[in-house]
A = this chain, B = another copy of it.
Amino acid sequence: MSKKVYLTRRETFAAAHRLFKPELSDKENYELFGKCSNPNWHGHNYTLEVTVIGEVNPATGFVLDIKKLKQLIHENVISKVDHKNLNIDTEFMNGIIPTSENISIAIWKQLDDKITDGKLYSVKLYETENNYFEYKGE
Protein backbone atom coordinates (compact mmCIF):
# COMPACT_ATOMS: atom_id res chain seq x y z
CA MET A 1 0.00 0.00 0.00
CA SER A 2 1.24 3.40 -0.99
CA LYS A 3 1.23 6.03 1.74
CA LYS A 4 1.55 9.56 0.48
CA VAL A 5 1.54 12.39 2.99
CA TYR A 6 1.44 16.16 2.37
CA LEU A 7 3.87 17.92 4.71
CA THR A 8 3.75 21.69 5.19
CA ARG A 9 6.26 24.11 6.69
CA ARG A 10 5.16 27.62 7.65
CA GLU A 11 7.63 30.53 7.67
CA THR A 12 7.25 34.31 7.87
CA PHE A 13 9.16 37.27 6.45
CA ALA A 14 8.81 41.06 6.44
CA ALA A 15 9.47 42.95 3.21
CA ALA A 16 8.82 46.22 1.38
CA HIS A 17 7.44 46.36 -2.13
CA ARG A 18 5.72 48.57 -4.69
CA LEU A 19 3.42 47.55 -7.54
CA PHE A 20 4.25 49.61 -10.61
CA LYS A 21 5.41 49.49 -14.22
CA PRO A 22 8.46 51.67 -14.86
CA GLU A 23 7.11 52.76 -18.26
CA LEU A 24 4.02 54.34 -16.65
CA SER A 25 3.62 57.63 -14.76
CA ASP A 26 2.79 57.61 -11.02
CA LYS A 27 -0.76 58.60 -11.93
CA GLU A 28 -1.13 55.73 -14.41
CA ASN A 29 0.36 53.31 -11.92
CA TYR A 30 -2.10 54.51 -9.30
CA GLU A 31 -4.98 53.84 -11.70
CA LEU A 32 -3.72 50.30 -12.28
CA PHE A 33 -2.49 49.31 -8.81
CA GLY A 34 -4.19 51.75 -6.41
CA LYS A 35 -2.49 52.50 -3.09
CA CYS A 36 -0.11 49.55 -3.67
CA SER A 37 1.71 51.79 -6.17
CA ASN A 38 2.88 54.31 -3.51
CA PRO A 39 6.28 55.48 -4.88
CA ASN A 40 7.67 55.57 -1.34
CA TRP A 41 6.94 51.84 -0.89
CA HIS A 42 4.87 50.00 1.68
CA GLY A 43 5.35 46.54 3.20
CA HIS A 44 3.94 43.39 4.68
CA ASN A 45 4.55 40.54 7.08
CA TYR A 46 4.20 37.70 4.60
CA THR A 47 3.35 34.17 5.76
CA LEU A 48 4.65 31.43 3.49
CA GLU A 49 3.47 27.81 3.54
CA VAL A 50 5.43 25.28 1.48
CA THR A 51 3.87 21.85 0.94
CA VAL A 52 5.75 18.76 -0.21
CA ILE A 53 4.06 15.46 -1.09
CA GLY A 54 5.84 12.14 -0.84
CA GLU A 55 5.85 8.54 0.30
CA VAL A 56 6.47 7.97 3.98
CA ASN A 57 9.89 6.35 4.44
CA PRO A 58 9.23 3.21 6.54
CA ALA A 59 12.71 3.43 8.12
CA THR A 60 12.05 6.85 9.69
CA GLY A 61 8.34 7.56 9.43
CA PHE A 62 9.27 10.81 7.63
CA VAL A 63 8.44 11.96 4.11
CA LEU A 64 11.35 14.30 4.57
CA ASP A 65 12.96 15.59 7.76
CA ILE A 66 11.03 18.83 8.20
CA LYS A 67 14.20 20.48 9.59
CA LYS A 68 15.74 19.98 6.13
CA LEU A 69 12.74 21.59 4.46
CA LYS A 70 13.01 24.51 6.88
CA GLN A 71 16.68 24.89 5.99
CA LEU A 72 15.99 24.76 2.23
CA ILE A 73 13.34 27.46 2.58
CA HIS A 74 15.65 29.65 4.65
CA GLU A 75 18.61 29.33 2.27
CA ASN A 76 16.66 29.74 -0.96
CA VAL A 77 13.87 32.10 0.05
CA ILE A 78 13.82 33.69 3.50
CA SER A 79 17.45 34.89 3.42
CA LYS A 80 16.65 36.68 0.14
CA VAL A 81 13.37 38.34 1.09
CA ASP A 82 13.30 38.96 4.85
CA HIS A 83 13.83 42.64 5.75
CA LYS A 84 14.39 43.31 2.04
CA ASN A 85 12.81 45.41 -0.69
CA LEU A 86 11.37 42.89 -3.15
CA ASN A 87 11.71 45.32 -6.08
CA ILE A 88 15.37 46.14 -5.43
CA ASP A 89 17.10 43.64 -3.17
CA THR A 90 15.78 40.26 -4.31
CA GLU A 91 17.58 38.93 -7.37
CA PHE A 92 15.01 36.23 -8.12
CA MET A 93 12.30 38.94 -8.43
CA ASN A 94 14.30 41.01 -10.96
CA GLY A 95 12.05 42.47 -13.65
CA ILE A 96 8.94 40.91 -12.09
CA ILE A 97 6.05 42.98 -10.67
CA PRO A 98 5.98 41.81 -7.03
CA THR A 99 2.29 40.90 -6.78
CA SER A 100 1.64 37.95 -4.47
CA GLU A 101 0.75 35.90 -7.54
CA ASN A 102 4.19 36.51 -9.03
CA ILE A 103 6.05 36.11 -5.71
CA SER A 104 4.40 32.68 -5.23
CA ILE A 105 5.48 31.52 -8.69
CA ALA A 106 9.00 32.85 -8.18
CA ILE A 107 9.30 31.06 -4.81
CA TRP A 108 8.13 27.84 -6.49
CA LYS A 109 10.98 28.19 -9.02
CA GLN A 110 13.47 28.80 -6.21
CA LEU A 111 12.47 25.59 -4.45
CA ASP A 112 11.22 23.12 -7.06
CA ASP A 113 14.49 21.41 -8.03
CA LYS A 114 15.98 21.60 -4.52
CA ILE A 115 13.43 19.18 -3.07
CA THR A 116 14.70 15.65 -3.62
CA ASP A 117 12.72 13.64 -1.04
CA GLY A 118 9.16 13.97 -2.26
CA LYS A 119 7.95 16.61 -4.68
CA LEU A 120 6.97 20.26 -4.26
CA TYR A 121 3.16 20.41 -4.20
CA SER A 122 2.15 23.96 -3.30
CA VAL A 123 3.46 27.42 -2.40
CA LYS A 124 0.91 29.46 -0.44
CA LEU A 125 1.51 33.10 0.41
CA TYR A 126 -0.55 35.18 2.85
CA GLU A 127 -0.12 38.90 2.05
CA THR A 128 -2.51 39.90 4.84
CA GLU A 129 -4.87 37.96 7.09
CA ASN A 130 -7.57 38.54 4.43
CA ASN A 131 -5.70 37.86 1.15
CA TYR A 132 -3.79 34.72 0.23
CA PHE A 133 -2.48 33.15 -2.95
CA GLU A 134 -1.47 29.62 -3.92
CA TYR A 135 0.58 28.24 -6.82
CA LYS A 136 0.73 24.51 -7.54
CA GLY A 137 2.88 24.46 -10.68
CA GLU A 138 -0.17 24.31 -12.93
A residues apposed to B, CB below 8 Å: 2-12, 14-17, 19, 32-36, 38, 40-45, 56, 60-63, 65-67, 82-85, 88-89, 96-99, 101-102, 104-105, 128-136, 138
Contacts and interface: CB of A to CB of B under 8 A. Distances in A.
Copies in the complex: 6
B99 A131 contact: no
B60 A5 contact: no
Contacts of A130: 9-11
Contacts of A15: 42-43
Contacts of A83: 35-36, 38, 42
Contacts of A133: 5-8
A117 B130 CA distance: 19
A42 B14 CA distance: 7
Given A5-B133, A40-B89, A42-B14, A60 B138 contact: no
Nearest to A5: B101
A56 B130 CA distance: 20
A117 B134 CA distance: 16
